[in-house]
A and B are shown apart, each in its own frame.
Chain A
Amino acid sequence: ETGVTQTPRHLVMGMTNKKSLKCEQHLGHNAMYWYKQSAKKPLELMFVYSLEERVENNSVPSRFSPECPNSSHLFLHLHTLQPEDSALYLCASSQDLGRVSGNTIYFGEGSWLTVV
């Protein structure tokens, strides 16, 4: 069992649908992240939460809405997405947001999203 689990693993949705991605971490970490990975591009940081408080919103369109109800769970709510939003969405966690130690990021298995 991985320390960071994501559901669903695969999602196909229409542009008018509303869906959510779920992430749960079992590592006792205090920070959680959403990353987007598109083909041939570097990982893009979308959101960062520390102790359930959002500390980073990296210029992400409002059609992506994160929610962090507690330090173990993170959601990404999806609404009126575009085909170019099709990508692998990775949830991750780290012990904390320290500059040097404790900031190693551990990824979940990812959710493959296809927008049609």
Chain B
Amino acid sequence: QKEVEQNSGPLSVPEGAIASLNCTYSDRGSQSFFWYRQYSGKSPELIMFIYSNGDKEDGRFTAQLNKASQYVSLLIRDSQPSDSATYLCAGRGYTGGFKTIFGAGTRLFVKA
């Protein structure tokens, strides 16, 4: 069973702090990884994708991928209350190509 694991949280951080969201995956053949943000009652919206080992930065967001450790993370700098949401990690497996597997998500609260 191909799985993507996330701590369900909630993760609580003060406004202005760095929020660190973590994800592990079991399919060693996974090549593409995605972070989505989902506000309560809304659909997931894409934040970032990452294919290569290392860091990828986009504004206040940095995605980190370590394929050897099968680990993906998302850092949110200068966290804002509007960042409070559930963050979904997803990986696209090698086998079959089209099975994007989602984690259950981590709830993040940013306290003002």
> Which residues on A are within 8 Å of B, measured CB to CB?
31, 40-43, 45, 48, 50, 55-56, 88, 90, 97-101, 103-110
The residues in B between 8 and 34 inclusive whose CB is less than 8 angstroms from any CB of A are: 8, 31-32, 34
B59 at interface by CB-CB < 8 Å: no
Contact mask B50-69 → A, CB, 8 Å, 1/0? 01000000000000000000
- Complex: A97 Cα to B31 Cα, angstroms: 13
Question: Interface residue count for B (Cβ, 8 Å)?
Answer: 27
Q: B88 to chain A: which residues have CB within 8 Å?
A: 43
B residues neighboring A (CB under 8 Å): 4, 8, 31-32, 34, 36, 42-46, 49, 51, 88, 90, 92, 94, 96-105
A26 to chain B, nearest CB (A): 16
Given A43-B102, A107-B43, 17 more pairs with CB closer than 8 A: A43-B88, A45-B101, A56-B96, A56-B98, A90-B44, A99-B31, A99-B97, A100-B32, A100-B92, A101-B51, A103-B32, A103-B97, A103-B98, A105-B100, A106-B46, A107-B44, A108-B43
